[in-house]
Amino acid sequence: MLPGDASRFHTAFEAMVAEYPFDTTYIEGTQRRTKAVAALIERLETTPCRILSLGAGACDVEGVLSRMGHDVVAVDDLNDDWHKLGENQTRIKDFAQSMDVEFVDEHIGPDSPLPGGEFDIVMALDVIEHIDAPRPFLNTAVTHLRTGGNLVLLTPNVAHLANRLRFLFGQSPSIDVEYMYWHLGPFRSHVNEYTLGELRWMLETHDLEDIDATSINQSVAKMKGSTESRYRKVLLTIYDRVSGLRDQWKDTQIMWGQKPEGWSEIPPSIDAFSECHPQIRDNNLDTLSTDEIIDAVTSEQ
């Protein structure tokens, strides 16, 4: 990010924090993430560009991008547990409006009435790890891109250094067992986290071009910002530097790819599904057709 762009980012970030209606400890800790996303978009597109954010949540990143001069549309159904407390949904919508972000209160799916037109950037930040079927989600995302536009995904790197150390010492890198045990309401947390190679495979399989990636230590920055212990800050600084030596060791990956001319949605493939789930092929005792198999396995019964 050039010096002028960095100054514009910090001005926009401070403006967002001043308007943010909730505790700012979390978003101040995610400044590294927000800056990385903003720098990438400034590199990929001229300002202003048209951005669609899927699963925008409280719209903090979207607010910064809007204040930097971009035209931003944010989509979220606001059904996370804390979204539903009291008037929080209204607070998020009012905040988005104050930041000149167009907010669409909608579930993201193939039949969802999302904004029309094509976007220069479609981004999903900390979203795809919550999605149990990435292919339809990616179809929706890429469909809303103009030809030559970029899909930007930010998601945890399941193989980051801290997770490797947890395994080494007999601990699980999965969602905290106490959170799972005491969880209330519909489960909307992480379904699956991916390695850099797995995420790249998905974008390649989805026929995107010019795929590239970078990595950051988002979680470390958040922990450093939230602790008062000098000893812990020193340890986190050392870890940040060591894990920063390799992209595969950092905790967050940002990957992007370009929509080529003539792109079309990726349909379901029973052959591909059967390769990784052979029970479909081996137990098709009634010799169902491909369409009949799809109807059977996607039905609610």
Per-residue confidence at 301, pLDDT binned at 50, 70, 90? Answer: low
Q: Are residues 249 and 273 in the same domain?
A: no
Q: Are residues 37 and 84 in the same domain?
A: yes
Which CATH number is 135's domain given? 3.40.50.150
Assess whether pLDDT exceeds 80 at residue 153: yes
Nearest to 79 by CA among 107, 54, 98, 114: 107
pTM score of the predicted model:
0.93
CB atoms within 10 A of CB 5: 16
The conformation of residue 192, written as its DSSP 8-state character, comes to: -
> Which range among 200-209, 216-225, 271-280 has the greatest average pLDDT?
200-209
Q: Are residues 41 and 110 in the same domain?
A: yes
Query: Residue 67 burial by CB count (10 A; 0-12/13-18/19+): exposed, middle or buried?
Result: buried
pLDDT, residue 1, reads 64
Amino acid in the structure at residue 80: D
Q: Are residues 237 and 275 in the same domain?
A: no
pLDDT, residue 3, reads 58
How confident is the model over 9-56, as pLDDT tens digits? 999 999 999 999 999 888 888 899 999 999 999 999 987 999 999 999
Overall number of domains in the chain:
2
Q: Are residues 237 and 276 in the same domain?
A: no
Token pair, residue 38, equals 């903003």
How confident is the model over 177-187, as pLDDT tens digits? 999 999 999 99
Q: Are residues 135 and 108 in the same domain?
A: yes
CB contact at 8 A, 274 and 280: yes
Q: Are residues 153 and 207 in the same domain?
A: yes
Assess whether pLDDT exceeds 70 at residue 95: yes
SS3 82: helix
Cross-strand partners of 166: none
Burial 160-178 (b: 16+ CB within 10 A, else e): bbebeeeeeeeeeeeeeee
Q: Are residues 251 and 273 in the same domain?
A: no
Over its C-alpha atoms, the chain yields an Rg (Å, rounded) of: 20
Nearest to 158 by CA among 173, 136, 146: 173
Per-residue confidence at 247, pLDDT binned at 50, 70, 90? Answer: very high
Per-residue confidence at 195, pLDDT binned at 50, 70, 90? Answer: very high
Question: Who has greater pLDDT, 114 or 145?
Answer: 145
CB contact at 8 A, 104 and 115: yes
Q: Are residues 154 and 277 in the same domain?
A: no
Assess whether pLDDT exceeds 80 at residue 110: no
Mean pLDDT across 209-213: 98
Mean pLDDT of the chain: 93
Mean pLDDT across 179-200: 94
pLDDT, residue 2, reads 60
- Longest CA–CA span in the chain (Å) reads 66
Range of lowest pLDDT (217-231, 262-276, 282-296): 217-231
How confident is the model over 60-93, as pLDDT tens digits? 999 999 999 999 999 999 999 999 999 999 999 9
Nearest to 163 by CA among 175, 153, 178, 155: 175
Give the strand pairing for 145-156 and 119-125.
parallel
Amino acid in the structure at residue 82: W
Token pair, residue 267, equals 């349909």
Q: Are residues 147 and 279 in the same domain?
A: no
Q: Where are the beta strands (DSSP E) in the chain?
A: 50-54, 71-76, 102-105, 119-125, 145-156, 209-216, 252-258
- Domain holding 282, by residue range, is 268-301
Q: Are residues 154 and 122 in the same domain?
A: yes
Q: Are residues 229 and 290 in the same domain?
A: no
